[in-house]
Amino acid sequence: MRYISTRGTAPALGFEDVVLTGLARDGGLYIPDQWSPVSADEIRSFAGAGYGDCAYRVMRPYIDGFCIDDAALRTLIGETYAVFDNADVAPLRQLDGDTWLLELFHGPTLAFKDFALQFLGRMFEHILAKREARITIVGATSGDTGSAAIEACQGRDNLDIFMLHPAGRVSDVQRRQMTTVRAPNVHNIAIDGTFDDCQDLVKGMFNDEGFRDALNLSAVNSINWARVMAQIVYYFTAAAKLGAPDQPVSFVVPTGNFGNVYAGYAAHQMGLADARLIVASNQNDILTRFFEAGDMSISLVKPSYSPSMDIQISSNFERLLFDLFDRDGAAVTSAIGKFRETGTLPEGARLRAAAGKVFSGFRTVDDDTLTTIRETHAANDILVDPHTAVGLGAVRQMAADGTQRIVLATAHPAKFPDAVEKAAGVRPELPAHLADLFEREERCDTLANDLATVQAYVRDNAPAAA
């Protein structure tokens, strides 16, 4: 399988290089040059198969044989999903007649990001051992990505991870999930600044070519193809359990960066051709405005109860845009350029009409999020986290269409206890493996919002990479 850039000019790469590179050199995102189909019979067979077997079947065609052989890939996948604390890995739970929760929070850090990052951490280690190379991962997080990435990379050979978060601006649970990890290759940096400042510092490190090459910088953000790939799997397993491809399903996906729902689109292209994809946004609704009315225009971020979806620009949307422009990289480059320049995506109405065959969008603002948490608790005795509630809020707005609705439950309620308690009057408890989180010792250094300071820190603390 070859991977091509959405901007059309970077060289095509194989899987290994795409995993290590992340962003393409022309500024685009890598996608496979073709979708690997899964037949109707294979999808039916997933209903009774284990999660690891389905993951192997879905992902194997995207991973070159010289990168990893069949047996080693099976082992790697087996180890990845063995750390989840539910035998089904991604269990479905019925809420009422045609609404289901797909619980994606049984991984070590309680959010769906574990599905991809637990896989990616092991894949990095495998590739680096094979190449006898060492990398330095740098990232910025507003919460969930950082904890999932740190958990996935801790103690792994041949890599160090430096994670920047805005000091005082992530929740206590999220911060402690990062700062209480004790492995010596994990480095937490609190920045005196905002999440955007953290992101700018990371960009600054990547743009400094001397620094980038000396430390062999790598990234784990959601534009990495391997993360999308690992997320495709649960769309297939969930749909199969509800009778796909013979029964129609809709996926309702709480989203900000368009990463998770883009994996749903990949599953759609690979074989779930009847599935509809419902984009659920909070009050930061740039995606919903696009799917409703073709209007993709940037506005200010308004902080919400579902902070992992408080995003202005959905970076993974570019991957869909590539298909909406009939895989014309020059057209994507021009459209993204105009979007960055004017704040509005050109040709919105035409693009929306094409996307509308598969996607629709709904928004759920903060008040309705809390109401949904409260009413779901009252009616079903289930606590849902605020991101999941944004998905359930979308279901409430959807007209009956004869499909089974699969709402992706992207986080455990105990990851966002304050909002859940405010809504339902009950404080959700952390699962057993995190029960002593608030007694564990924290390890984190606070640095000024200054590129040279952060670079010096990374250089000093990643000695083996230099």
Report strand pairing: 217-218 vs 135-140: parallel
Catalytic residue (choose from 113, 357, 415, 422): 113
Beta-carbon count within 10 A of 168 CB: 9
Is 128 or 280 the residue whose CB approaches ligand PLP more closely? 280
Q: Write out the two tokens for 309.
A: 């979806």
State the minimum distance, in angstroms, from the CB of residue 466 to ligand PLP: 32
Whether the Cβ atoms of residue 54 and residue 248 lie closer than 8 Å to each other: no
State the minimum distance, in angstroms, from the CB of residue 119 to ligand PLP: 15
State the minimum distance, in angstroms, from the CB of residue 291 to ligand PLP: 14
State the minimum distance, in angstroms, from the CB of residue 111 to ligand PLP: 4
Q: Which long-range contacts (CB under 8 A, 24 or more apart) does 204-210 make?
A: 204/451, 205/138, 205/451, 205/454, 205/455, 205/458, 206/138, 208/451, 208/455
Q: Write out the two tokens for 67.
A: 């990168």
State the minimum distance, in angstroms, from the CB of residue 74 to ligand PLP: 27
Q: Which long-range contacts (CB under 8 A, 24 or more apart) does 87-94 make?
A: 88/51, 89/51, 89/52, 89/234, 90/51, 90/115, 90/234, 90/237, 90/238, 92/238, 92/241, 92/242, 92/406, 93/382
Is 160 or 385 the residue whose CB approaches ligand PLP more closely? 385
Is 100 or 258 the residue whose CB approaches ligand PLP more closely? 258
Whether the Cβ atoms of residue 234 and residue 91 lie closer than 8 Å to each other: no
State the minimum distance, in angstroms, from the CB of residue 408 to ligand PLP: 8
The H or E element containing residue 95 is strand 92-96
State the minimum distance, in angstroms, from the CB of residue 30 to ligand PLP: 17
Whether the Cβ atoms of residue 421 and residue 392 lie closer than 8 Å to each other: no
415 part of the active site: no
Is 128 or 238 the residue whose CB approaches ligand PLP more closely? 238
The SS3 call for residue 279 is: strand
Is 111 or 202 the residue whose CB approaches ligand PLP more closely? 111
Whether the Cβ atoms of residue 282 and residue 306 lie closer than 8 Å to each other: yes
**Cα-Cα end-to-end distance for the chain:** 33
Is 144 or 160 the residue whose CB approaches ligand PLP more closely? 144
| Contact residues for ligand PLP, defined by CB under 6 A | 111, 113, 144, 222, 254-260, 308-309, 387, 410-411
Closest by alpha carbon to 119, among 250, 15, 261?
15
Is 259 or 271 the residue whose CB approaches ligand PLP more closely? 259
Q: Write out the two tokens for 187.
A: 């480095």
State the minimum distance, in angstroms, from the CB of residue 256 to ligand PLP: 5
Place of tokens 């790939």: 229
Is 245 or 386 the residue whose CB approaches ligand PLP more closely? 386
349 Cβ contact partners less than 8 Å away, ≥ 6 residues apart: 294
Q: Which residue type sits at 44?
A: R
How many CA within 13 A on the CB side of residue 270?
25
Q: Which residue type sits at 91?
A: P
- Catalytic residue positions? 113
